[in-house]
Structure 1
Amino acid sequence: MRERHASQGARRAREFEAFVAGAAGRLLHAATLLTAEPPGANPRARRLLTLALSHTYASWDRLRGEDPYDRTRQYLAVRFARGAWHQYGGLGRSRPSPDSVLARLTPQERLILVLRMYEGVAEEQTAALLGLPAERVGAICARATATLLHPPRGPAPADVMEVAPS
């Protein structure tokens, strides 16, 4: 009996290690996009990924045919949303790295944009995961995309030379 449990544990560990070897890089990139941290200095993203992978490992035997990547990504997204809610009093503006292109977006906009554009999650699935109407998800995604494609212009330079009439 004890040997059977040991062999099941070893098989479980091998399966999970294979999953992590194949999925961790992409999941870390998604988490880094969510937190808008630089890729080389992303402690919040690494913590988010560690929590998501820990959760997946804890429920590994209960997946029963579910896609472990999808399950981990869902947990990552929900954990990010909850963290943004508790840290900033909602999915409003956070303080990501100013060097990040995604820093202009709210956490909610980043979450929806990453799920829809980077991860390829359908609008309806994203809406169900976040508890929003699909139309709202579409509108937020469109606004976030427009913000990234057409960034607001900065203020005019303070040192404008006046042209003297000739």
Structure 2
Amino acid sequence: MRERLVSQDARRAREFRAFVAGAAGRLLHTATLLTAEAPADNPRARRLLTLSLAHTYACWDRLRGEDPYDHARQYLAGRYARGAWHQYGGFGRARPHPDSPLAVLGPQERLILVLRLYEGVAEEQTAALLGLPVERVRTICDRATATLLHPPRGPAPAVVRARAATP
């Protein structure tokens, strides 16, 4: 009996290590896009990844044919959404790294855009994951895409008035 449990634990650990080897890089990139941190300096993204992988490992035996990547991504997205909600009192603006390509977007816009365009999650699944209507997800995604394609301009340059020449 004991040998069987040891064998099952070893198999579980091997399977999970193989999953992490294949999925951790992409999940970390997803988390980095969500947090809008610099790729080389992303402690919040690394924490999201660690929590997501730990949760996936804890549920590993109960997945039973479910895609572990999808499970980890859902947990990562949900954890990010709850963190942004609690930390910023709703989906307020976080302080993203200025070099992040998604720095101009708010947390909710980043979340929906990353799920839809980077991860390829369908509108219906994204809406169900976030508890939003499909139309709202579509609108936010369209607005975020437009913002990225046509970023807001900075303030207009100050107008300098020429002095009248004195005769």
Q: Distance in 2 between matches of 1:57 and 1:94?
A: 29
Q: Distance in 2 between matches of 1:34 and 1:115?
A: 9
DSSP 3-state at the match of 1:49:
helix
Q: CA deviation at 1:163?
A: 10
Matched, 1:119 2:128: no
Q: Distance in 2 between matches of 1:157 and 1:137?
A: 36
Aligned AA (2:109): E
| Sequence identity percentage | 82
Aligned AA (1:91): F
Corresponding residue of 1:26: 26
Q: CA deviation at 1:90?
A: 0.6
DSSP 3-state at the match of 1:70:
helix
Q: TM-score normalized by structure 2?
A: 0.94
Corresponding residue of 2:12: 12
Q: TM-score normalized by structure 1?
A: 0.95
Q: What aligned pairs does 1:107-146 form with structure 2 within 5 A after superposition?
A: 107-146=107-146
Aligned AA (1:93): R
Segments of 4+ moved more than 4 angstroms: 159-164
Aligned AA (2:35): T
Q: Distance in 2 between matches of 1:160 and 1:115?
A: 46
Aligned AA (1:11): R
Aligned AA (1:27): L
Structure 1: runs of 5+ lacking an equivalent: none
Q: Distance in 2 between matches of 1:139 and 1:159?
A: 37
Matched, 1:42 2:30: no
Corresponding residue of 2:67: 67
Q: Distance in 1 between matches of 2:103 and 2:71?
A: 26
Equivalent pairs, count: 165
